[in-house]
Chain A
Amino acid sequence: MTLRLRTRALTAMAAALAATTVMSSHAQAAEEVNVYSYREAKLIAPLFAAFTKETGVKVNVISASSGLEQRIKSEGANSPADVLLTVDIARLQDAEKAGVTAPLKSETIDKTVPAQYRDPNGHWTGISMRARVLYVSKDRVQQDAFTYEELADPKWKGKICVRSGQHPYNNALFAAYVVHHGEAEAEKWLTALKANLAQKPSGGDREVARDILAGKCDIGLGNSYYWALMHDKDADKKAWADATKVILPTFKDGGTHVNLSGVVLAKHAPNKANAIKLIEWLAGDTAQHLYADTNYEYPVKAGIAVNPTIAGYGALKPDTAPLAKIADQKKTAANLVDKVGFDN
């Protein structure tokens, strides 16, 4: 390396160093709202673009898959976070327990969001729902209605595919099972379900459809929107969806397990007014339609139509077990998964 080159490299590095310190997240300027999101930034971009267009409030986002409530907690009083957006009831509850939430008093929210989908004290609010459904082989499974309990029936031995039992989606479903039947019954069910698996849990929800297409198994658990996304939005994976049909299973004594994506108002929100504006907007018609049609989720607001592909699954009868109770059983469910060696 010549001297000139080295100088140039040094200059470039110094410039880079300077550039990074300019990248500041400290955004409290005029009309802004800062969102910490468990939803992928790219996927909620259209939603926030619509909000900005309507209200003139700019939305700044960071998205991550874990640790955001710890980040807000550590940041303390100087935290730029206004709103935390989650895709799992457990994260909503963790945020509340971490003490990073502020109670939201909003008539709009109280009117739009059914009571079972929000915290009675206003610490979190559900915005949309996803159901934990079955993808089953069109050719090889004739049955059209299932209960979650039935998945443990020995007649499905070697026929079931599923991702890790510790994945938050399965963890919440198993926790709901504990709420319905108690820990001992849940352990029996998990043991029997494990015995029915065609293979060791791996992959994601889409791989369940893929494995059914390949003939590795006949039945699998997946979230409601994945199938619709494969079917409508991804030419490559349409074949995976086409090999399967979606069944909305229910608990014997209840409905279909749903999980919430929701929002939290941050305790030290620097742009509190805009944060409330955003939360109310997310529960409003425009956003609820976007949730239904671009994200393929079930809108939380009554009277908003679900996407036609999702409607094709049949009418959703959401389980009525309180979500907060389900979140309380997550730890039990996680321990049971370890105990029965579900993932081994």
Chain B
Amino acid sequence: MPWGTGFVRRPLLRHVVAIAFVVLLVAAVLAPIVSLLVIALGSDAAIWGHLAAYVLPSALAQTIGLLLGVAAITTIAGVGTAWLVTAYRFPLRDTLAWLLPLPLAIPTYIVAYIYADLLDAAGPIQSGLRAAFGWRTPHDYWFPEIRSLGGAIFVMGFVLYPYVYLSARAMFQMQSASLTEVARTLGATPWRLARHVALPLARPALAVGLSLALMETLNDIGASEYLGVRTLTISIYTTWLNRSDLPAAAQIACVMLIAVMALIALERYGRGNRRFFVSERQPRLVVPMTLAGGTGWAAGAACALPVIIGFVIPAGFLLHEVARRGLLVGFDPDLLRHTASTIALSAAATAVAIALGLGVAICVRLVRRPFMTALLTLAGIGYAVPGTVLALGLLSPLVAVDDAINAGARALGFAGPGLIVAGSGAALVIAYVTRFLTIATGSMQAGLGRISTHIDDAARTLGARSQELVRRVHMPLLRPALGGAALLVFVDCLKELPATLMLRPLNVETLPTYIYQFATRGSFEEGALAALLIIAVGVIPIIRMVRYADLDIGGTQRRKPSAGA
């Protein structure tokens, strides 16, 4: 590949369209960040003395603790289960393979409420223990405190591990079997095989999945606040709302953003230029080995545990609440409308995000210059700021567009149409795309990264033009990555709360904002049915995608029926 690049390096001028497209898109994505910077300049730096003395030491410690804890759980649960279901056959494996991503469909703060309800001192478990052992008060025994940093790590870790699971599984599945087989032939133990072959190869995908999970963690507000964890994001809110100092809040947000971008850059740098391609000829896939007897059941149990904690228990709790409260009998007819709005907004945003993400990734691939990769990273910046902050930053640019439209209309002698962008569903679609674009670009880039550039070069040599190369070579090979990215973006849009709260049009509710009304009044259980609707809408594409991805494996197995075991 090093001299492959030089071979077809074409003059930049030939790629004017591609470069212009990427630059324009990045400019659009940066608009809210720029407007945030402008807000941040509206105040002196007075707040930093106070923050440095009283807030940052504990907020930093809590934030770092939370991130490390969530990183540990998501990596162990995500990578571990992905490796087990890809490399081995064991009882319930096929079922678990599609159950494992399901925690994605439940909003994190709902799971936090549910576990606090189940596990705190007044909850059924501790009450049962007290009754069984004759303890009178919680002071008579020790029980882990769910409303704590540890509790938050537990909840977020088991809700967010699917980000890692999905990217790790996609990577493990695409890895050429030859490396694994060579390692096995050379007598590598399963542990060494995972550590020295599979994991290093999967690192780029892991970095994508893990950074998504960690940014979700960093930007969370609902679960952290309820569980009593004071993160940096919470201090942004406090500064904004209690000190009525939006500029200072914007300053903190900007500093956090810089830190996040630096970490991402550091990971990229650490990964360096190592790239791993799928074999160009026939990507034979790893043939799963059968784990027999107790080992097999242990593997099954290990994979079932995250599903049970992250999905089965929360979903069961919600079902129970729906039944007990008669939410189905007293069905709120508005819910159907809210479900339709949620799906429409999410689907629209997904379509736009995937189209743009694909476009950017392909342009970067065609131009093949480092500055394009840097632009691609910048295009994902929206995910690195808390949703409310992003929404605040988006307000001014959106209204500026509206003002221009209105001025134009008046100049032509029409009445101004008002806020047709900032005041309509378009604002939400733009917010979702800005926020989740990184998922699309990241997955597309990872997907394209697995296609060797030699293939491009070969196609070029055979006279293929850019469009042909994309249409006839890249697109067919990208289909699994496309499906995965679309799923993640769609489910993330379904769950999006903070930006939706601030930007939605009059009389429009989505399922998350509907639930939130009850949650802020301290009775989230009344939103249980709406939460189940989010899960139901999210589960369908998750199952579809997992099945679709697994078709490949079936094919391989048919081709090589005797290779396993």
Taking Cβ atoms with an 8 Å cutoff, the residues of A that contact B are: 1, 10, 12-17, 19-28, 34, 40-43, 60-68, 70-71, 74-76, 78-80, 90, 93-94, 97, 164, 166, 168, 171, 199-207, 210-211, 213-216, 226, 229, 234, 236-237, 240, 330-331, 333-335, 338-339, 341, 343-344
Contacts and interface: CB of A to CB of B under 8 A. Distances in A.
Given A78-B402, A333-B242, A338-B55, A215 B138 contact: yes
B114 interface: no
B502 interface: yes
Interface of B: 50, 53-55, 58, 116, 120-122, 126-127, 136-139, 145, 147-148, 225-228, 230, 234, 237-246, 324, 341, 343-348, 350-352, 388, 391-392, 395-396, 398-399, 402-403, 406, 416-420, 422-426, 428-429, 479, 483, 501-509, 513-514, 516-518, 520-523, 525, 548
A170 to B, nearest CB: 10
Contacts of A34: 506
A166 B238 contact: yes
Nearest to A170: B242
A74 B395 contact: yes
A25 B423 contact: yes
A117 B385 CA distance: 38
For the complex of A and B, the 4 pairs showing the least CB-CB separation, nearest first, are: A202-B228, A20-B425, A25-B505, A215-B137
B104 to A, nearest CB: 20
Nearest to A200: B228
B508 A344 contact: no
A234 B321 CA distance: 13
B343 A16 contact: yes
Given A20-B345, A164-B228, A40 B520 contact: yes
Contacts of A66: 237, 240-241, 388, 502
A335 B347 CA distance: 43
Given A16-B344, A94-B244, A164-B225, A64 B502 contact: yes
Nearest to B347: A16
A210 B502 contact: no
B502 A27 contact: no
Nearest to A164: B225
A206 B522 contact: yes
Contact of B242 (A41, A75, A79, A334): A334
Contacts of B522: 204-207, 226, 229
Given A1-B479, A210-B120, A330 B426 contact: no
Nearest to B238: A166
B406 to A, nearest CB: 7
Given A21-B426, A25-B506, A76-B399, A344 B230 contact: yes
A62 B505 contact: yes
A210 B429 contact: no
Nearest to A204: B522
B420 to A, nearest CB: 7
